[in-house]
A and B are shown apart, each in its own frame.
Chain A
Amino acid sequence: MQVLFDPSLFWNNRTVIVSGAEVSLALGAASVAVSLAFGLAGWLLKASKTSAFRWLGNSYIECMRNTPTLVYLYLVYFGLTEVGVTFSPFVSAVLALGVQGGAYMAEIIRGAFNAVSEEQRQAARALALRPWMSLMHVELPQMLRVAFPAMGNQVVSLVLGTSLASVIAVPELTYQSQIIGENTYRYFSVFAVLAIFYVLIVQVLNTLWRAIERAWFGRWGATV
């Protein structure tokens, strides 16, 4: 019977572990950025006055929300090579996670837009603000306030989703842990520490998010 928990294992593999953690965080950050862009685009399509655009936005959101992330990872990774485009595993993962996350982001943004009352828009129009000025100065700040907590949850679930990128050999932390586990058979130590890593990241993100929320919107209270 080997020792269950072996600290020296982590010291011996420290370079791999640190680079894995870096890739995980970079993957998470890039996916969040892509999902914001796609979320805005998806919302604009869904809120469009042209019915064809609305249909497109709806289809995008429903397709992404009703299929597992793995499907998109495989589709992007295997599929784009078939049409002659080759992305690195990292870029494939960013695209798959970001485009799918965008659908959830679009729904969050739509909810926030609907939460800002119609009177605010009318008041802005009455003050002769053009629609885009009203959006920039009146609606978007309030939308951000409404959407902020939900966006935090979405960021967390994207960061947790990056672990799936290990299946297309992105050298992030889950992938590196698997390799260390296979080489040493110290699966308990490796996966226990991996789980703790994710718990810590989520705690840090949640704390950070709440701090930003207090700093930006603390004075607003609950009002929109």
Chain B
Amino acid sequence: MAPLVPYLGILLKGALVTLGLAALSLVFASVIGVVIGMVATSRSASARAFAKLYVETIRSVPLLVQLFFVYYALPLLANVSPSPYHAATLALSVYGGAYMVEAVRSGILSVGTDQWMAARSLGIRYRVMMLYIVAPQALRVTIPAAMGIFIDMLKGASVTSIIGFVELMQTAVNIRNTIFALSPIAAAAVLYFVMCFSLSRVGAGLERVLRYEDR
């Protein structure tokens, strides 16, 4: 353990990079989730089919393959060559977005159709109804699910090390290759555990606060 001590600082920095990447991707994933989630609950069958295609495709392809696609194949398609960081953010956002769509969709569907019909019969417009009637209730379902997705994205961020983005996992592997000991990997495991476990506790707490059926 002793040779690890000088490296603890950069390990912590790696953990912050991981958190930053996951948080930024979560923001983008939430935007995707809300937009496509509304498409997924719209009345147009073809729009719903499009949303389903996006969700099913992303969920049926490993995150690593999506990262490879963005990092290696996208430059051949369009004249862009994303840095590992940009590729990681894009892939993780699109990946998390697919799960977010499902969270938003189940949130919207948790609001009973009688409320939709009541709003419509009162002549309330779609946008107003969504914002003031559906959204506040849907969030009770969506927010706890989003916490779970955030934890998955935090763990998924480790995969971005494979395209050369230096976050916590890659930092640990680099240190291991310098001092030839297992302790950096174990330390990274502890850091991941601390981050994910505390987030999951927060998520469980939120779920308790937001639940209202059995009150």
Give the B-binding residues of A (Cβ under 8 A).
2, 4, 62-63, 65-71, 74-75, 78-79, 82, 156, 160-161, 163-164, 166-167, 174, 177-178, 181, 187-188, 190-192, 194-195, 198-199, 202-203
Contact = CB atoms under 8 A, between A and B. Distances in A.
Interface in B168-185: 169, 172-173, 176, 181-182, 185
**Interface SS of chain A:** helix
Given A68-B159, A174-B65, A198-B60, A187 B192 contact: no
Interface string B61-78: 110111011001100110
A9 B102 CA distance: 37
B72 A181 contact: yes
Given A79-B182, A198-B60, A167 B162 contact: yes
B28 to A, nearest CB: 20
B76 A71 contact: no
A75 B186 contact: yes
Contacts of B159: 68, 70, 164
A50 to B, nearest CB: 24
Contact of B189 (A2, A71, A156, A163): A71
B161 interface: yes
Interface stretch (B29-37, B120-128, B193-201): B193-201
B196 to A, nearest CB: 4
- For chain B, give the interface size range: 35 or more
Given A75-B186, A75-B189, A198-B65, A188 B77 contact: yes
A187 B73 contact: yes
Given A62-B197, A187-B73, A71 B185 contact: yes
Of A2, A195, A203, which is in contact with the most chain B CB atoms at under 10 Å from its CB?
Answer: A195
Contacts of A195: 57, 61, 65-66, 69
Contact of A191 (B69, B162, B173, B192): B69
Nearest to A80: B182
Contact of A78 (B59, B151, B182): B182
Given A71-B188, A71-B192, A191-B69, A164 B64 contact: yes
A199 to B, nearest CB: 4
Contacts of A174: 62, 64-65, 68
A65 B155 CA distance: 10
A163 B155 contact: no
Interface of B: 57, 59-62, 64-66, 68-69, 72-73, 76-77, 151, 155-156, 158-159, 161-162, 169, 172-173, 176, 181-182, 185-186, 188-189, 192-193, 196-197, 200
A192 B60 contact: no
Contact of B193 (A66, A181, A198): A66
A171 B192 CA distance: 28
Nearest to A186: B76
B62 A164 contact: yes
A191 to B, nearest CB: 5
Contacts of A160: 60-62
A75 B185 contact: yes
